[in-house]
Amino acid sequence: MDYILGVDGGGSRTTIQVANTHGKKIVQVISDSTSYKSIGGIDKAIENLNKGVFKAIKSLKKSSNIYFVSSCFGLAGYDTKKDFNDLKKIVLNEI
């Protein structure tokens, strides 16, 4: 089934939502912060992001074929060119 993934990562918590392609929210998960400046490093931010996203995916276990047709990541603390490049690597390679 096709889904849309949304991630709102802040300094204190991260909200992950999964919706169907009609925009109906199917799953919402609250996870730990993904702001690497707040939690002591990029590795911890990746770990927290993965935990939240995979928890949301597990909540969709009724569907055998899960496919994200679109995603949007808004993550706090990424405000320089280097930050943006690091963020791009995280989203494209780590998740």
Which CATH number belongs to the domain containing residue 25 in this structure? 3.30.420.40
Could you tell me if residue 94 is inside a domain? no
- Rounded to two decimals, what is the model's pTM? 0.85
pLDDT at 40: 84
Tens digits of residue pLDDT in 4-51: 999 999 889 999 999 999 999 999 999 999 888 888 888 898 899 999
* CB contact burial 19-35 (16+ within 10 A = b; e otherwise): beeeeeebbebebbbbb
pLDDT at 63 over 80: no
Could you tell me if residue 14 is inside a domain? yes
Full domain range(s) for residue 73 = 2-86
pLDDT at 66 over 70: yes
Could you tell me if residue 54 is inside a domain? yes
The secondary structure of the chain, three-state, reads CEEEEEEEECCCCEEEEEEECCCCEEEEEEECCCCHHHHCCHHHHHHHHHHHHHHHHHHCCCCCCCEEEEEEEEECCCCCHHHHHHHHHHHHHHC
Could you tell me if residue 91 is inside a domain? no
Q: What total of structural domains would you count in the chain?
A: 1
Could you tell me if residue 57 is inside a domain? yes
Could you tell me if residue 93 is inside a domain? no
